[in-house]
Chains A and B, each alone.
Chain A
Amino acid sequence: MGSRVRIQEEDFSIQTEVEALRSCSKRIGGIATFLGCARDFSEGRDVSSISFEQYAGMAEAALQALREEALAQFDIIEASIIHRVTRVHAGDQIVLIIVGAEHRGPAFDACRWLIDELKKRVPIWKKEITPEGDTWVTEHP
């Protein structure tokens, strides 16, 4: 819990985070969420875990800027972004984006925009650990 934008090692509870956002305004009529998880397969190889690295300070500032841009650009009421930076295993939660709006359209649009922009603009990197060796991920599909 806490700030609407967080980078943390520990796992998060979707239910707790959605409830925190929902309780901020009774004008919210729709909440869209995006949950990014660690896959066990990538580029034709088994992936046992993923290790994340961030540029501390700049990464959180970039997330904060994204949230503020989304609030200005879309007809939404509130947004929160949580990104884990640690070593996660296949199936673990990585990133959570929650957007609350009066109506579903802007909530979905802003949620999609936030995850797409996060991948382009936030200085976070991931290394996939596979039986064949470690690989830094360079693309953001």
Chain B
Amino acid sequence: MTIRVLFFGMIAAKLGRHEWLLPISHEITLAEVIEQVGCSECKPLLLAVNQQQVKDRTTIIRANDEVAIMPPFAGG
């Protein structure tokens, strides 16, 4: 089982990757995903699960979910 973790902007630049297929053996929390991909120190941080923005880091992430780890938006 894997989850797809996407990185954008300066976070992708810092990690040197835009995507990480993260293997999981069971459901984990969003906070655990952030830790496992090395983003615990990334601040500020915006988060989305399956393209829906979420703030609660206790959100449960399941196999095949898509998690986005994003810096503050800067469009326009």
- Residue positions of B touching A, CB distance < 8 A: 6, 8-10, 13, 46, 48, 51, 68, 70-76
Interface residues of A in 119-141 (CB under 8 A from B): 119-127, 136-140
Show 17 A/B contacts (Cβ-Cβ < 8 Å), sorted by A: A52-B75, A55-B6, A55-B70, A57-B51, A58-B48, A94-B76, A115-B76, A119-B76, A123-B46, A123-B75, A124-B74, A124-B75, A136-B13, A136-B74, A140-B72, A140-B75, A140-B76
Q: Is the interface of A mostly helix, strand, loop or mixed?
A: mixed
Chain B: CB-nearest residue to A116: B76
A-B contact count (CB 8 A): 72
A9 to B62, CA, bound (A): 34
Q: Are A123 and B8 in contact, CB atoms less than 8 angstroms apart?
A: yes
Contact A95 B75, CB 8 Å, known A123-B8, A125-B8, A136-B10: yes
Contact of A126 among B46, B48, B74 (CB under 8 A): B74
Q: Are A138 and B48 in contact, CB atoms less than 8 angstroms apart?
A: no
Q: Is A77 part of the contact surface with B, judged by Cβ < 8 Å?
A: no
Chain B: CB-nearest residue to A114: B76
Nearest-neighbour CB distance to chain B for A69, whole angstroms, equals: 15
Q: Are A120 and B8 in contact, CB atoms less than 8 angstroms apart?
A: no
Contact of A118 among B71, B72, B76 (CB under 8 A): B76
Chain A: CB-nearest residue to B13: A136
Contact A124 B73, CB 8 Å, known A55-B51, A58-B51: yes
